[in-house]
Structure 1
Amino acid sequence: MATWFLIIIYLAFISLGLPDSLLGSAWPVMWQDLGTSMGSAGIVSMTIAAGTIVSSLASGAIVKRLGTGKVTLISCLLTAGALLGFSISPSMVWLIIFAIPLGLGGGSVDAALNHYVAENYKAHHMNWLHCFWGVGATMGPIVMSGYIGDNDFWRGGYVAVAIVQFSLVVILLVTLPLWKRVAAKRDEERSRMSGTPNKPDRELVDSTVTKVNILQIKGVKPTLVAFLFYCGVEMTIGLWGASYLVGPREMTAKSAAEWISLYYAGITLGRLITGFISLQVSNRVLIRYGQLITIVGGILLLLPLPDTVSLIGIILIGLGLAPIYPGLLHETPARFGRDNSAKLMGYQMAVAYTGTTLLPPLFGLIASQIGLSLFPIVVLIFLALMMISVEIVNRILSKQVIGSKL
C-alpha cells in the first residue's frame, strides 16, 4: 500500500511539472500567432505564479479541510482544464484568464505533498519526488517541439498535455480511498516507532522554537531569499531560454525547444542520481556542490563560445539545480523544527513562486528594452545571489551548532 501511495505522489508531481515548461517552449511561435508582444509571456507567467502563491499560502487550511487526496485530485483537474483552455485561446486576454486556474491548481498540492514527504520520508524520496516533476517538465518541451516543428501548431501541444492531465485525474479519482488508508497506517507506524524516531541530518532546533514567530527564527529569512532566486532562475531559463536561443543564437524554434528539454532533463537526471547519493551524503554537501556546478554552467553560457558549449552550460545548470530545491525542502523540519515545518513549507512555496512571478517578467521587461543578449548575465547574477543566500544560512546554523556544544 505504501508503495502504491508513493507512485500516486510521483504521478501527481509529473502533473505539476508538465505545464511548467510548455509556455517557454511554445512562446517563440505563440506570441506572433496571438498578435501580442514577445515580452507578454512574463504577464502570463506572473498570473500563473500569483495564483500559485495564493493557493500555497492557503494550503494548510485547504488540506486540513479536504485532505491531501482530494486536494491533489482537484488541483490536477484544474490544471487539465486550464491547459485545454490555453489550446483554444484566441487572444492574450484568454491566456491570462486560463492562467488563473492553472496557478491555483499547482500551489496547494505542491506545499501539501512536499510537507508530507519531508515529514515522513528520507532525503532520497524527496529527490526522487522532484525527479518526477522533472520528468513532467522534460516531457513538456518534447511534446511541444513535435507540434511546432513543421507547422508551428502549438495548440496541439497543449491539447496533448491536457489529455495526459485528464488521464491522471482518472487515476487519482480511482485511487482516492487509498489516501485515507495509507494515512492511517502511517499514523500507526509513527506511534510504534515514537521511541526511536528517524533522525534528520541535523536536528538544530528544539521544541521551544515553536513559540517564536517563524520569520524571527534565525536562518529563515535568507532561506526564503534562496527559494526566491532558485525558482526565479529556474523559471527564467525555462521561460526565456528558447527565445534567447532563437534570437541572439539564431536557432530554429524546434531546436531551441529540444535544447530546453535537455535543460529539464538535466534537472531530472540530476535528481535521480542525487537520490542515490543522498543515502551517503548530507543535503548540505549536495546543495553546495550543486550550486558550484550551476555557476560553472552559467559561465559557459556567458562566454562567446560555439553553440555546443552553450548547450553544455545549459545542461550543467540543470544538473546543478537538481539537488538544491528538494534538499532545502527536506531540511526544513531538521533546521527549523517539525512543529514549524508545515507553516514554513507554505511560506517557502509562496516565496518560491514569488520568484517565479517577479524575476522572469523582470527579465522580459529588460529584454524588451535592451535585448535578449543579456540572458546569460542575468542568469549568472541570479545563481550567485542564490548561492550567497544559502551560504549565509549555513553559517548561521553552524554557529548554532557550535553554540550548543559550548
Structure 2
Amino acid sequence: MNIFEEKESKVRSYCNSFPVVFSKAKGSWLHTADNKGYIDFLAGAGSLNYGHNNDILKEALLAYISQDGITHGLDMYTDAKRQFLTAFNQHILSPRGLDYKTQFTGPTGTNAVEAAMKLARKVTGRTNIVTFTNGFHGCSLGALAATGNQHHRGGAGIPLPGTTRIPFEDYADIDGLTYFDTMLSDNSSGLDKPAAVLLEAVQGEGGLNVASNAWLQRLETICKKHKILVIVDDIQAGCGRTGTFFSFEPSGITPDIVTLSKSISGYGLPMALVLLKPELDEWLPGEHNGTFRGNNHAFVTAKTAIEHFWQNDAFEQHIQARSEQVTKTIQTALNSFPNIFVRAKGRGMMQGVESINGDIAGDIASLCFENGMVIETAGPNDEVIKFFCPLTITESDLAHGLAIFLKAAEQVAAEQTRKAS
C-alpha cells in the first residue's frame, strides 16, 4: 500500500473508504489478490451496468483487437463507429421515436456536459444556464458551475459564473417551477433569460432525488413557452439504471439535448455522447473536439451491449424484478430501524435509503465493507446509502448483498439505541 500513499495524490477518494488492493472482477464481484470477494454495490459509480468483464462484451472486444481493428480514430469514419451508430439508432432511438444527431465528445461525462452547455449558448445566443439544487454535472469549470455541491465547487479556485440555480422538485417544500415561470414572465425579476435548463431526472450524487413525471412535463411546458432548451444529463441515470434506457422515458418529454457517458460503452471503457435535435446542429467542424473522442474499443462494446440487452424488453423486465427486490429490503429497513432511517429514495436500480445523518450512513457503509460489500453514500451530507449494483446482478447475489446491508443496519441501530438509553 505504501506506493499509493507515497506517489498518488491526496485527491483520491474511493480508496479511502475501501482500503484494499483489488486484482480481479467478474459479474457483480470484486476480488483482492488473496481472493477475498466483495459484492459490488458501486458498479464504477454507474459505469458497469452490465457488470465486470461481461463475457459477451469481452469476446466482441477481444475479437476486434485480435483483428487489428482501429483503436484510436479521432472523429474519422470507422467500421466500429458505423456499427455503433446503426445499432444505437435501430435499437434505442427509433423504437422510442427519438430523432437525434450524435456528437462524440471527449470520453468523460463532464466533457459531454460542457459541449451541451456550449451548444445551447451558441444556438440561442444567450449565456445563462438554469440548473437545480443538489444537481451534479462534473468537475470541469463549466459543468462545475452547474453543480450544487460545495465540496466540489470549492476545488475550482475561481468564481463559477454563467448559471442560475432554482429548487429541484420537493426541495424544502418550495415550488421552484412556479418561481421559475414567474421570474421569466417578469421583466424586472433580474433573471437573465437562459439558453437552457440542465437537470438530472434522478439526481445521483445529490441524494437520489426523483423528478416526477408531472414535474418534468411542467418544466418542459415552461421551457417551450419561453423558448428555452431542455438538457437532460443522463450520464448516471441513463443506460437502464432507472428501469428504462433513458431516465426521462416514463414522463414522455423529449429533451432538446441529452448527455450520456458512464455505461454507454457497456464495459467501463471511456466514452461520452451528446444527443441533439438535428435543427440544433450548428457546430462548425472541430469547434468542440478532443483527442480521444473516437474510442473504437468503446464503440465495439457499446454496440454489442445494445444488441444483446436492448433488442426487446426482457432486460427491462429483469431490472424491474431486481428493483422490486431492492425496494422490499428498503421498506424492511425503514420498518425495522426507524431510529436510524428516514425515507426511501430513488427509482429502479438507482435506489437508496436516507439515514438520519451522514455519520449513520457512513457507519453502515463501513460495516458493509467489513463484511464483504462495496457500497457508497450520496446526498448533500452523505446521508443516503446508495444501492448501485450492476443491472445484470442475479437474484441470489442481490439477496446476499442486501442481507449484508440489513445486518449492518441492525448493528448500527442497536448501537444508537444503546447510546440513547
Question: Could you tell me the TM-score, scaled by structure 1's length?
Answer: 0.26
- The structure that is strand-richer by fraction is 2
Question: Could you tell me the TM-score, scaled by structure 2's length?
Answer: 0.26
Report which structure shows greater RCO (CA 8 Å, sep ≥6): 1
Larger radius of gyration between Structure 1 and Structure 2: 2
